Chains A and B, each alone.
Chain A
Amino acid sequence: MTTSNHPDHLLISQVSIDFPTPKGPFRALDKVNLRIEKGEFVSIIGHSGCGKSTVLNIVAGLYQATEGGVILDGREVNEPGPERAVVFQNHSLLPWLTAYENVELAVKQVFKGKKSRAEMKEWIEHNLTLVHMDHAMHKRPDEISGGMKQRVGIARALAMEPQVLLLDEPFGALDALTRAHLQDSMMEIQSTLGNTVIMITHDVDEAVLLSDRIVMMTNGPAATVGEILDVNLPRPRNRVEMAEMPEYIRCRHAVLQFLYERHGRKEASTPKAKVAAASADEESEPAKGNVVTMSKVTAKAA
């Protein structure tokens, strides 16, 4: 999956950002450093509010870093562009355009003068087929389900042939089954196209299942990269087989330990935290016997 001829495909160097507040500048990120190789799948995980989306927005060019910068293939990033396509958390499709037209808008913008009309049509349909949306190509976003909208959002991003694909909690708003489906689709696409991907997530299993490396962020203010974990699992990965593998369990444990023991919220220092945290991902469906523990976890993870 990795190629060594571009060791510094994407370089996030000493990135800090201050947001102005009435009480003076608020330092959200402090000296974030990250090197990403071509074709790598990197997840950024952290508690909500730690600034992981801010990192993504800086790479996307939607925010400007106060200090430091982002370099993609030797060029500094200072504005948004289709070579760094973003899949937004809530799909962000244009509600007045069909799935096809939404992808078309991106394709026309990127391949204007490079592809003929027929080639563009074929390319749009190809990308929608890639995310298994060829059956509902001419439906508008309000006529399809949340998972399908997110698929179209992914197709739109892929159709731009980005050098880096940026996923901002792409499956966060979906139900567990749909999420699993889309994670499988994402792995399949990644193995076919070999894109460089940065994914923001708060789901430990999702991070371990999809990533080559997991970047764990400390809590804000002045959040930064706390630890980077290599996930040495063979591809293609199967979620059912994975669950039993010692490496999977090791990675999952390492992430949970980082999130809940070393960088948990202030109240997360009770001995029960570790046990409770392990099931934090299922917080939306608390088991009846565990109500007390679960409510604590919910409070911490919120």
Chain B
Amino acid sequence: MNTRQLFQTFAAPFLGILLFLAIWQVGAPKIVTSLGAVPGPVQVFEQFEGLLTEHQAARQKEVDFYQRQQERNTETLKEDPNAEVSIRPYTGKATFFDQILTSIVTVMTGFVLAGFIAIPLGIVAGLSQTVYSALNPLIQLFKPVSPLAWLPIVTMIVSAVYVTDNPAFDKSFITSALTVLLCCLWPTIINTTVGVANISKDLQNVSKVLRLSWWTHVRKIVLPSAIPMIFTGLRLSLGIAWMVLIAAEMLAQNPGLGKFVWDEFQNGSSNSLGRIMVAVIVIGLIGFALDRGMLFLQRHFSWDKSLALR
């Protein structure tokens, strides 16, 4: 690697970030809001440390809480071995890091469900012109609809349909996951369809000459051919899913990052802007990590390991 390449690979990105931080640090204090001056990167990092401390304190509290119950129970049992003892669950407030986890679980639920619907649908639409013609107007109609328009409908339907005495999931979780699902179906369907429809004519002829069954044809020829396009769709879908999730969580009050941002905004303390900015950066980093994760999966599933992925 020569100097120029070294510069481009390592120094240039570093300089870019540094420049951005500098502009932020200098510019931010000049804007004063009702919640005080806009925090610069240094203040935002302090808020991050604050959130981390809060999280550790909450964990400690939880550990202490269970330990106290344990001790109390042991004592009760010592006095009366037949006494009925129980451990009550800890119900402290979710910390920022708990909320990150909730968000990831929610987005993956919606995204994985969407994948299970979109990939088979895309394969069928790619193989059959009739199915494609039937599906295409619906895809074009629903694709541009904003998550904020879906959410009220999903909320009402979930409230009406999901009625149990002992719910395994929160309604807010289901509402958010379903909204994510509805918004991230489309890129995967479209890309899978295109990938399947463009299988090389020669390979289709091979399949015909061999008289492969429909299922073998899909497994041996369609899927391996369409994998790159399927993954392109999935990556687009996951990107959309993550963006949609934050909005959905704000409105559905699912205890994830979206709710965190909303609560801080409503809270309006002098720390709020800084904490929201921490959330913004974390949202960005997780979005990036999710995309890398999909790339990694694509490399794992693709037959062509030498393929340049970007």
Contact B304 A80 (CB under 8 A): no
Please give me the residue from chain A that is nearest to B224 by CB atom. A96
Please give me the residue from chain A that is nearest to B209 by CB atom. A80
Instruction: Give how many A-B residue pairs fall within 8 Å (CB-CB).
Output: 51
Which of B200, B209, B220 has the most C-beta atoms of chain A within 10 angstroms of its own C-beta? B209
State A82–B212 Cα separation when bound (angstroms). Answer: 10
Contact A96 B303 (CB under 8 A): yes
Q: Which residues of A lie under 8 Å from residue B220 when comparing CB positions? A: 94, 97, 105
Known: A95-B304, A96-B224, A96-B303. A90 touches B202 (CB 8 A): yes
Contact B211 A80 (CB under 8 A): yes
Number of interface residues of B (CB under 8 A): 16
Mask of B191-234 contacts with A, CB within 8 angstroms, 1/0: 00000000010110110111110001000110010000000000
Mask of A268-289 contacts with B, CB within 8 angstroms, 1/0: 0000000000000000000000
State A109–B206 Cα separation when bound (angstroms). Answer: 12
Which residues of chain A (52-91) have a CB below 8 Å from chain B?
Answer: 60-62, 79-82, 84-86, 88, 90
Contact B211 A109 (CB under 8 A): yes
Q: Which residues of A lie under 8 Å from residue B221 when comparing CB positions? A: 94
Which of B205, B206, B304 has the most C-beta atoms of chain A within 10 angstroms of its own C-beta? B206
Least distance between A157 CB and chain B CB atoms (Å): 9
Chain B interface mostly helix, strand, loop or mixed?
Answer: helix
Partner of A88 from B202, B216, B304 at Cβ < 8 Å: B202
Q: Which residues of A lie under 8 Å from residue B303 when comparing CB positions? A: 95-96, 140
State A97–B303 Cα separation when bound (angstroms). Answer: 9
Whether a CB of chain B sits under 8 angstroms from the CB of A92 is: yes
Contact A84 B304 (CB under 8 A): no
Partner of B209 from A85, A140, A142 at Cβ < 8 Å: A85
Number of interface residues of A (CB under 8 A): 24
State A225–B268 Cα separation when bound (angstroms). Answer: 88
Partner of A62 from B205, B211, B216 at Cβ < 8 Å: B205
Whether a CB of chain B sits under 8 angstroms from the CB of A207 is: no
Whether a CB of chain B sits under 8 angstroms from the CB of A12 is: no
Whether a CB of chain B sits under 8 angstroms from the CB of A106 is: yes
Least distance between A76 CB and chain B CB atoms (Å): 17
Contact B208 A92 (CB under 8 A): no
Known: A92-B203, A94-B221, A96-B224. A86 touches B304 (CB 8 A): no
Partner of B304 from A94, A96, A106, A110 at Cβ < 8 Å: A96
Q: Which residues of A lie under 8 Å from residue B304 when comparing CB positions? A: 95-96, 142
Known: A94-B220, A94-B224, A95-B304. A88 touches B205 (CB 8 A): yes
State A109–B217 Cα separation when bound (angstroms). Answer: 11
Q: Which residues of A lie under 8 Å from residue B212 when comparing CB positions? A: 105, 109
Q: Which residues of A contact B (CB under 8 A)?
A: 60-62, 79-82, 84-86, 88, 90, 92, 94-97, 105-106, 109-110, 140, 142, 160
Q: Which residues of B contact A (CB under 8 A)?
A: 200, 202-203, 205-206, 208-212, 216, 220-221, 224, 303-304
